[in-house]
Amino acid sequence: MENQTSNFIKDIMIKDLESGKHETIVTRFPPEPNGYLHIGHAKSIIINFGLADDFNGKTNLRFDDTNPLKEDVEYVNSIKEDVKWLGFEWDDLFFASNYFEEMFKRAVLLIKKGLAYVDDLSADEIREYRGTLTEPGKNSPYRDRSIEENLKLFARMRDGAYGNGQKVLRAKIDMKSPNINLRDPVIYRIAHATHHNTGDKWCIYPMYAFAHPLEDAIEGVTHSICTVEFEDQRPLYNWVVEQCEMDSTPQQIEFGRLNVTNTVMSKRKLKQLVEEGYVDGWDDPRMPTISGMRRKGFTPESIRDFVRETGVSKGSGAVDTQMLEHFVREDLKLKVPRTMGVIKPLKVVITNYPEGQIELLDAEINPENLDMGMRKIPFSREIYIEQDDFMENPPKKYFRLFPGNEVRLKNAYFIKCEEIVKDAKGEVVELHCTYDPETKSGTGFTGRKVKGTIHWVEAAHAVPAEFRLYEPLILDKNEENNDEGKTFLDHVNPQSLEILQGFVEPNMKESRPQDKFQFFRHGYFNVDPKHTTVDKLVFNRIVSLKSSFKI
């Protein structure tokens, strides 16, 4: 795996090793299995695994599965697949739920130390008592329960004596703290729900802010790397580790989260897009999920390069989606075959070409990587070209096909438009052209020049194909900037997907899901793994050929 460039987290690790604070680096990637991973999680994966690799340390994959109401084994499996696809292998696989007994014991320890109490206030009342950023909170009327009473009530909570929301366990810290996170945070709540890992064994579950530091300490994590929104929770993280008397003390370090323009990065919003049918699943190619990007055709190398280029810092900001597309173009341009596909077909009959004759023409598989060799393309009297490559009444400086004009067919001959065939509605449905047999590509013909070259597919052997062209899912570059009364759904692009029926070269017939190609003039495409069948080829456009983005 490629090494991380220097950054402030790496500098901290270097100092910790040099000072003897740690003998080895241990990081973890700790997703909650309540949705599919997205490009922001990819940054966390690459940072955690990459930094540990730099120091020959270890990285664990740990599922923070403390909320059975939102979690599912489907998400567990998808996360494992995403991490492996990005090119990483975890050293150990852990589940927070495997530590539930230990977490319960630590909560009991807090109660015995007078640092936790059972509260009967409702969730709304707890919020009301908490205060605001400018006003201190006030103590719950249950805050001064005795240690004995709290131990008894907490045990009854575990035994299932109370319903959801009837009681919670809160840490007793400081209701007047300027940091709201320290105003007696809830550390256990009641949830009568089946857990994907522990079944019905538990009906009380630790809150994330309490469980997470304990998990890190139990696993001996040296550097707990997270995004900046957890910075205000760092005092609580340290308090939990210290007051629960854990044997190791992880260091929480925050970095700026990755946002990309023209999309959403909230799991809640992504789930809403899926559930309300705006997309066809978590792996829809318009989604910023890793599975969606994989299905669209992005490569793990391109995502790793993109994330490393964005760097590691405290600052957060939206990165232009064009930057991400730039890296996939750079990764694919020397790797994938070039071929021709017609996505809006217009039939052309070459009237002076012999009927029934099939000619095989030579073409480079990738002109930028000649080591990939050559391919054969059939040519005959009837071909398809793009509708956009013909105009009956063209403007000036239009160099493609129009009545009386001559163009080169890529890898083939010059053809000249002689006649137009229209249907009853007056739409052009067929062109009659002539070709010049002396102008065959590769013969060194210099008799005259043409300014336009267009692509084509021979009609008799053409393979039908579906092309899916994507535009950004969210029209607003910053979807958080919603006008009053509007939500992110008001910015969903109704034109984000265009489906077209066309043709590809016959050598594409054996294409398999996830095979990638560059279609002449159209861009880079991936064979869709979800909709492609033995009888139907479906191509997702990964990116167009050109980008205005500059590194």
Catalytic annotation, residues: 32, 257, 267
Beta bridge partners of residue 223, listed in sequence order:
251
Q: Which residues contact 413 (CB under 8 A, 6 or more apart)?
A: 379, 435, 436, 437, 439, 440, 441
473 is in an annotated binding site: no
207 is in an annotated binding site: no
190 is in an annotated binding site: no
CA atoms within 13 A on the CB side of 173: 25
550 is in an annotated binding site: no
152 is in an annotated binding site: no
Q: Which residue has the tokens 């340390």?
A: 57
HEC states along 357-425?
CCEEEEEECCCCCHHHCEEEEEECCEEEEEHHHECCCCCCCCCCECCCCEEEECCCCEEEEEEEEECCC
User: 63: burial class by Cβ within 10 Å (0-12, 13-18, 19+)?
Assistant: buried
Beta bridge partners of residue 53, listed in sequence order:
none
42 is in an annotated binding site: yes
258 is in an annotated binding site: yes
192 is in an annotated binding site: no
Q: What is the DSSP string of 314-363?
A: S--EEEPHHHHHHHHHHHHTTTS-EE-EESSEEEEEETTSPTT--EEEEE
33 is in an annotated binding site: yes
248 is in an annotated binding site: no
516 is in an annotated binding site: no
3 is in an annotated binding site: no
487 is in an annotated binding site: no
Amino acid at 543: V
3-state percent helix, strand, coil for the chain, nearest multiple of 5: 30, 25, 45
Q: What is the DSSP string of 167-235?
A: -EEEE-S-TT-SSGGGSS-EEEEE----BTTTBTS-SEEE-HHHHHHHHHHHHT-SEEEEEGGGGGGHH
CB-based contact 30:99 (threshold 8 Å)? no
331 is in an annotated binding site: no
34 is in an annotated binding site: yes
Distances (CA, A) of 119 to 165, 166, 188, 243: 10, 9, 10, 20
22 is in an annotated binding site: no
Please report, in range form, the residues annotated as the binding site for L-glutamine: 64, 208
Please report, in range form, the residues annotated as the binding site: 32-34, 38-44, 64, 208, 227, 257-258, 265-267
Please report, in range form, the residues annotated as the binding site for ATP: 32-34, 38-44, 227, 257-258, 265-267
